[in-house]
Amino acid sequence: MLKKLLPLVEHALKKPVWDCRMCGQCVLHSTGMTCPMTCPKTLRNGPCGGVRENGNCEVKPEMQCIWVKAYDRTVSLPLPKVWKEHYNELRPPVDMQLQGTSSWINLVTKRDQQVPAGWSVGEH
Amino acid sequence: MSILREKLENTSERVFTAEFPSIDGGGMDSVIKNAARLAPWFDAVNATDNPAAHAHTSNTTTAIAMKMHDLEPIMQIVCRDKNRIAIQADMIGASLHGITNLSLLTGDDVTAGDEPEARRVFDVDSAQAINMARIMATGTYLSGRKINPAPDFYIGAVENAAAPPFDYRIQRALKKHRAGAQFLQLQICYHPDRLEAFCKGVAEVAPDLKLIPTIVLMKGAKGLAFMNDKVPGIDVPADVLARASGASDPAQEVYNLTLELAQHALSLPGVRGLHVTDFRHDETLDLFMNDLGRTPKRQG
């Protein structure tokens, strides 16, 4: 029941504020409260090389690059220091199996921490 | 060990790389012709992966063809067209053919190409793709499945030193380095001050990350205006455009400008060579390399 209800509640709250795409592995806190899934290339690790001189998106010229926005907000918003420090961490590939599920449940169960076995081999 | 790796890691020699022209028709003859033209000047040459989102002969097959004709490839892989399974297959497939130099990048969006209706993939991003290559070089796929023996990869990446958010570009380069990139081919930059700040910043923190800025040989002022208007992430300052278009001989002025940019780039900390993109396909390449004090390698 909760598994069906929570995604609806989460989407209802996060869609209007952050244009949430329900990836199920929310990283908003580490990206200046800016959703990287709204990047047309769904990049999780920073801006591509196509950002326009005015800071807008290569794909949607009328839209500010979400990573420019994320960087500005990370610098300027009064966010916890540890969140700001997470900005430049290497985020793993999106787990497509979590698409549409509640990131809140996945946070509590730590399901969103699961990465492919090879991901953390060696140093980052 | 690849020539590129040997030179960058074990010598202080300058390294010159280039872009292999996209192959469509023309068969192996066109590969042979282009390889013969580039081989005297370059240590390794990029086998591109559907540049500007246009379909061409694939990255892997181009790299194999180049290798067959004694030109060392740097195999590009972009994240736009393939998911993580296909990208790992590209990498291990390259290894099968003895191709070890990789350059991993996000890639232009599908809307930059002639099939904007195509599905964009971006299952992984460039930093994740770099990390996958690093993982594979330690002997496992992303899943943890073993690869024995591990492939030998020399991992490269690309960064735009001069696009917003300007303050963040150095950190992004360092993130790619932490993920496994050992060299960076930088996108063309017409702001020498930005390139300088970037190279200094990277070299201070990561002196072992090899930087290879790009220089573009073009026909004239129109080419510069095209870069400014149409190429994502590339800005040409107004005074540079005016200098080129206002000159009595614009083609010569653009050449002078290009040479100045190249010499400045080579003087910067962390910079180990240049990546040359040649849109002229004429004798200008020979002139340019001569003006940089290079001597052609003898073939055969």
Q: Rounded to an integer, what distance in angstroms lies between the CA atom of residue A81 and that of residue A79?
A: 6
* pLDDT band for position A4 (cuts 50, 70, 90): confident
Q: Rounded to an integer, what distance in angstroms lies between the CA atom of residue B123 and that of residue B55?
A: 19
DSSP B210: E
Chain B residues within 8 A (CB-CB) of chain A?
A: 79-80, 84, 105-106, 108-109, 111-112, 120, 122-128, 131, 134-135, 138, 140-145, 158-160, 163-165, 167-168, 171-172, 175, 178-179, 187, 232-233, 235
Residue A55 near residue B169, CB atoms below 8 Å: no
* pLDDT band for position B102 (cuts 50, 70, 90): very high
Q: Which residue type does B215 have?
A: I
Q: Is the pLDDT of residue A45 over 90?
A: yes
B160 to chain A: nearest residue by CA? A49
Q: Which residue type does B99 have?
A: I
Q: Which of A27, A31, A41, A94 should one mutate to test binding to chain B, selecting the residue with the greatest count of B CBs within 10 A?
A: A41
Give mean pLDDT, residues B109-137: 97
What pairing do the DSSP bridges indicate for beta strands B273-278 and B15-19?
parallel
The confidence score (pLDDT) of residue A117 equals 94
Q: Rounded to an integer, what distance in angstroms lies between the CA atom of residue B155 and that of residue B134?
A: 7
**Chain B residues lying within 8 Å of A97, measured CB to CB:** none
Cβ–Cβ gap A116/B179 under 8 Å: no
Query: Which DSSP string corresponds to A23-61?
Result: -SS--GGGTTT--GGGSTT--SSS--TT--TTSB-SS-T
Q: Rounded to an integer, what distance in angstroms lies between the CA atom of residue B231 and that of residue B226?
A: 7
Cβ–Cβ gap A92/B128 under 8 Å: yes
The confidence score (pLDDT) of residue B126 equals 98
The confidence score (pLDDT) of residue A13 equals 87
The confidence score (pLDDT) of residue B58 equals 98
Q: Is the pLDDT of residue B300 over 70?
A: no
Give mean pLDDT, residues B188-206: 97
Cβ–Cβ gap B179/A124 under 8 Å: yes
Cβ–Cβ gap B164/A59 under 8 Å: no
For the ranges B58-72, B75-89, B220-234, which has the lowest average pLDDT?
B220-234
**Chain B residues lying within 8 Å of A65, measured CB to CB:** 164-165
Residue B124 near residue B84, CB atoms below 8 Å: yes
Give mean pLDDT, residues B151-167: 96
Cβ–Cβ gap B124/A53 under 8 Å: no
Please say whether the structural domain B3-291 has been given the CATH code 3.20.20.220.
Answer: yes
* pLDDT band for position A123 (cuts 50, 70, 90): low
Give mean pLDDT, residues B152-165: 97
Q: Is the peptide bond before B232 cis (omega within 30 degrees of 0)?
A: no
The confidence score (pLDDT) of residue B121 equals 98
Chain A residues within 8 A (CB-CB) of chain B?
A: 40-55, 58-59, 65, 67-68, 71-72, 88, 90-94, 96, 116-119, 121-124
B164 to chain A: nearest residue by CA? A55
Q: Is the pLDDT of residue A2 over 90?
A: no
CB count in 10 Å sphere of residue A15 = 12
Query: Which DSSP string corresponds to B218-270?
Result: -SSHHHHHHHHHHSTT----HHHHHHHHTSSSHHHHHHHHHHHHHHHHHTSTT
The confidence score (pLDDT) of residue B229 equals 92
Alpha helices, DSSP H, located in chain B: 3-10, 27-38, 59-68, 84-96, 126-137, 169-179, 192-205, 221-230, 238-245, 250-266, 284-291
| Element holding B159 (H helix, E strand) | strand B154-159
**Percent of chain B scored above 90 by pLDDT?**
95
Give mean pLDDT, residues A76-90: 89
Residue B88 near residue B142, CB atoms below 8 Å: yes
B73 forms bridges with which residues in the sheet? Answer: B45
Q: Which of B84, B168, B177, B228 should one mutate to test binding to chain A, selecting the residue with the greatest count of A CBs within 10 A?
A: B168
The confidence score (pLDDT) of residue B187 equals 97
Cβ–Cβ gap B122/A43 under 8 Å: yes
**Chain B residues lying within 8 Å of A118, measured CB to CB:** 135, 140-145
| CA A4 to each of CA A95, A99, B19: distance values in angstroms, whole numbers, following the listed order | 19, 13, 51
- Of A101, A90, A97, the closest CA to residue A114 belongs to A97
Q: Rounded to an integer, what distance in angstroms lies between the CA atom of residue B191 and that of residue A3?
A: 52
Residue B103 near residue B212, CB atoms below 8 Å: no
* In chain B, where the domains are located: 3-291
Q: How many CB pairs under 8 A join A and B?
A: 129
DSSP B211: E
Q: Strand, helix or coil at B75? A: strand
DSSP B122: -
The confidence score (pLDDT) of residue B202 equals 98
Q: Is the pLDDT of residue A49 over 60?
A: yes
Cβ–Cβ gap B233/A51 under 8 Å: yes
